[in-house]
């Protein structure tokens, strides 16, 4: 996954995009707000957002390539998150 996928998801999810923008503004001091509440709201919006169809298709394709048609559904995976500039 890449920053391009994140940007595509943000374009497709205006409510999620606004939540992330608000969180960033609170973290940087550009906006007054309660950081914990903003984080909780972001988590809720990420959990409830539908994954963009193109991203979902790419993920399922790659999982099928790696684990077979149904193997990925039974496989536990670790997710690594890194900063954009890393």
Domain coordinates of the chain in residue numbers?
Answer: 3-74
Q: DSSP code of 79?
A: -
According to the model, what pLDDT value does residue 76 have? 86
Q: Following DSSP, what letter does each residue of 7-23 receive, concatenated?
A: HHHHHH-HHHHHHHHHH
Band (pLDDT 50/70/90 cuts) for residue 84 is: low
Structure token digits, residue 50: 């539908």
Q: Do residues 16 and 45 touch, judged by C-beta distance below 8 A?
A: yes
Average pLDDT across the chain, whole number: 89
Confidence check: pLDDT of 70 > 90: no
Backbone angles phi, psi at 22, to 5 degrees: -65, -45
Residue with the bigger pLDDT between 83 and 61: it is 61
Structure token digits, residue 21: 């923008």
- Angle separating helix axes 3-12 and 53-67, nearest 10 degrees: 140
């Amino acid at each position: 996954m890449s920053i391009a996928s994140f940007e595509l998801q943000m374009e497709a999810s205006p409510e999620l995009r606004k939540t992330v923008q608000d969180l960033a503004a609170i973290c940087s001091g550009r906006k007054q707000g309660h950081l914990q509440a903003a984080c909780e709201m972001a988590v809720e919006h990420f959990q409830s957002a539908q994954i963009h169809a193109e991203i979902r298709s790419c993920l399922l394709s790659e999982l099928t390539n790696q684990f077979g048609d149904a193997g990925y559904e039974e496989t536990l995976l670790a997710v690594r998150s890194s900063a954009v500039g890393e």
